[in-house]
Structure 1
Amino acid sequence: MPSSDPQMFLLLWFVLPVWLIAGFADWLCHRATHIETTAGIKETWIHLLMFLQMGIPMLSALFLEVNALIIGFMIVLFFCHEATALWDVSYAVTARKVSPIEQHVHSFLEMVPLMALLLVISRHWPQFLALFGAGPESARFDLHLRPDPLPVGYIASVLMGILLLEVLPYLEEYRRGKKAKGIAQGK
């Protein structure tokens, strides 16, 4: 990405990698506290829900033209994610130790999506204003692929990062939880 677009550069080469690393660090914290035998599979389901709440808007911004519809969708799911994160921590602290390190990781997992959202909004300010009936443009609520697609190599790297740092670890957490639940139930 050209450095002439600092917002895009920050989104693609700073915010997104930090976000993926924080998600993996959170999984490491869960693993260290043996989530499968403490909070159990319920907390893993909450984590998978939060992954979807942020993953779907992120993929939308990577592949679709960002307009009022996408911005509004991102805002709604950001707030849903925040509510789910509160539910997650409220549940987790009743069942397992949530260390200061994990709490710090959670702060990244809450603020990095906000940084991403604000950078997307700032790149598409007229459509953000239009979402609220202000500004020079009419709000657009249609779905189109990005007119300026991201490089295939970048997209492949991001998807591989998501698979390796998020999907596989959290599926492994789910598998451990299912196994522990089966053992606890005598299956």
Structure 2
Amino acid sequence: MPADLPAFEHAARLVLMYGLVPLWLLAGVGDWLCHRATQIERNAGVTESLLHMLMLAEVGLPLLLVLFLEVNALLIAVVLAALVIHEITAWWDVHYASRRRHIAPVEQHMHSLLEVLPLAAASYVVVLHWDQFLALFGRGTEPARMALALKAEPLPPAYLAGLLVAVVLLAGLPYLEELWRCVRWRRRERDALLAQATRAMRGGS
């Protein structure tokens, strides 16, 4: 084993914690701003906004698991499965939205980041727990551990608190606001159609 391996692992964890995860949050904010600029509530609406919430859950749940639980074969399998599901949902989202609103180049770049950054983060998790990844396939020097357990060495409390606050402020609240905006617009449209139909019925009687 190389003598500088602990230094590499430390550097990889720093990149993951203070590089990839914050970039993912910022890309999410950028994407939300793009949706707002195209007035998503007036075109792709509630359906696309629900897809955004679904994708947020698909990456948010694995993130929480990795933050608080020991990373083992089971957790790696969950992360990789969620990554595949997220990519499928991302394709569904773009396929749906592109037929209903303009997706500008800057939004396409946000989408690229939101697809690549979870993949990069998952790759870092795999590399940092390589033996457990290999154990999924019956290889490596360790047996596959398939139990959920809290981390023996938790991440720094200040980091966890700061990250959870950032997730709420930069991911949770913006996309909840987007969904509420879409639902409110759909209600207005429905009420306007009902009022128009009522006037038409009264005029014809």
**After the TM superposition, which parts of structure 1 deviate over 6 Å for at least 4 consecutive aligned residues?**
none
1:72 maps to amino acid: A
Contact 1:3 1:9 in 2 (8 A): no
Of 136, 143, 149, 2:141 maps to 136
Of 158, 163, 168, 1:158 maps to 163
For residue 54 of structure 2, what is the aligned residue in structure 1? 49
Is 1:61–2:78 an aligned residue pair?
A: no
Contact 1:57 1:77 in 2 (8 A): yes
1:146 maps to amino acid: K
CA RMSD of aligned residues (A): 1.2
Structure whose alpha-carbon radius of gyration is higher: 2
For residue 169 of structure 1, what is the aligned residue in structure 2? 174
Q: Give the deviation of 1:4 after TM superposition.
A: 6.6
Identity level (%): 46
Contact 2:9 2:128 in 1 (8 A): no
Q: How does 1:66-81 map to 2 (within 5 A)?
A: 66-81=71-86
Q: In the comparison of the two structures, how many residue pairs are matched? A: 186
Aligned residue for 2:93, secondary structure, equals helix
Q: Can you list the C-alpha shifts for 1:53-103, whole angstroms capped at 9, x where unaligned? A: 000001100000000000000000100000000000000001100000000
1:12 maps to amino acid: M
For residue 186 of structure 1, what is the aligned residue in structure 2? 191
Q: Quick one: structure 1 residues 54 and 4, their matched pair in 2 at CA, closer, same or farther if it must change by over 3 Å? A: closer
Q: Distance in 2 between matches of 1:125 and 1:64?
A: 17
Is 1:104–2:109 an aligned residue pair?
A: yes
Q: Distance in 1 between matches of 2:37 and 2:169?
A: 19
1:35 maps to amino acid: I
Q: Distance in 1 between matches of 2:78 and 2:12?
A: 20
Q: Tell me the TM-score normalised to structure 1 length.
A: 0.97
Q: Give the deviation of 1:125 after TM superposition.
A: 0.2
Q: Give the deviation of 1:147 after TM superposition.
A: 1.1
2:64 maps to amino acid: L
Contact 2:69 2:149 in 1 (8 A): yes
Structure 2: 5+ residue stretches without partners: 1-6, 193-205
Is 1:36–2:36 an aligned residue pair?
A: no
Q: Distance in 2 between matches of 1:115 and 1:106?
A: 14
1:111 maps to amino acid: V
